[in-house]
Amino acid sequence: MHTINQYRESFLEELNKITTEKEPKNLYHPINYILNLGGKRLRPILALMTADIFGADFKNAIPAAMAVEVFHNFSLVHDDIMDDAPLRRGKATVHEKWDINTGILSGDAMLIEAYRLLEQYDGNQYKKLNALFSTTALQVCEGQQYDVDFETRDDVTIPEYLKMIEYKTAILVAAAMKMGAIIAETTVENEDLIYEFGKNLGIAFQLQDDYLDAFGDPKTFGKQVGGDIIENKKTYLYLKALELSSKAEQNSLDQLFSIQPTNNNDKIATVKAIFEESKADVATKQAIEDYTQKAFNVLDKLEIPATNKEALEQFGLWLMTRKV
């Protein structure tokens, strides 16, 4: 087994090779820009780590890991356009730095490039990877549509929200890990188990993001704390607060999530107070722990050395307790 830093360094070395200057610059410069904005690189690292865990040379999984990362960033470019978001990872979004048409076209090119990267694999391996990737890409789009639909609904349920984040976020984590397993040519049972592990870990990851958005440290979180509150997003925290709050607090939340004040500080403070008074913050942390444990329960069934299971568990624990 290699370290997380070794996976990251190998991936970034390859990323530097594909983010070179190409013509037309107005198509490729925005692609290079978004791919080099940073981020946790969670999905490609997990693809490489999984290939290693199942006994393959992890570098064989770099093209698949790159495909996942390019696709993920394509989805961010288009999501930012849909949300009219000005910032991504503290920098101007692609459509803000250039324009909407550039964002759409560069995003389209990234989607095509993600599929081209998978062409480096042959035969049945390529067929399995491509089929998984296509299914995953469509499910991510479905998750995004659910997210858009929820913006205009006031009857979103917690099961609906969990399905949305499963499709929009967790499925791509699961697919990245299954790709690593496919490249390692492990058993179909192991492929399916690691997919289940990744899906539950991905849900816990998104719930942790929800929690950090409200209660994270502004110095380490990397985004504006309270961003979801400002945008009136119906996160797990919000839905749990509605479930656990008094009628007066429910009415207050409904009212606060229907306005866009010029100064959001009072709104954020009031909403966070309701989250804490209702114990929605505690319930969210419990849900993060529950989904992480669901992922860990899968490890007992995996046919891999105990040390490799421990590496997966340590990575999951880090995700559950991260501050960024």
Burial of 252: CB neighbours in 10 Å, binned 0-12, 13-18, 19+: middle
pLDDT of amino acid 129: 98
Residue range 99-144, pLDDT digits in tens: 999 999 999 999 999 999 999 999 999 999 999 999 999 999 999 9
pLDDT at res. 38: 85
Predicted local confidence at residue 83, as pLDDT: 85
**Per-residue pLDDT reduced to its tens digit, 68-110:** 999 999 999 999 999 888 888 889 999 999 999 999 999 999 9
Q: What are phi and psi of 87, to 5 degrees?
A: -130, 145
Q: Is 88 helix (H, G, I), strand (E, B) or coil?
A: strand
Helix pair 265-277, 280-299: axis angle to 10 deg? 70
Q: Which of 277, 237, 272, 234 is nearest to 254 (CA)?
A: 234
Read out DSSP for 114-152? HHHHHTTS-HHHHHHHHHHHHHHHHHHHHHHHHHHHHTT
pLDDT at 84: 87
User: What value, to the nearest 5°, has the Cα angle with vertex 139 and ends 243 and 170?
Assistant: 60
Encode pLDDT of 234-275 as tens digits: 999 999 999 999 999 999 999 999 988 888 999 999 999 999
3-class DSSP state of 87: strand
With a cut of 60, say whether residue 222 has pLDDT above it: no
State the pLDDT confidence band at 229, using cuts at 50, 70 and 90: very high
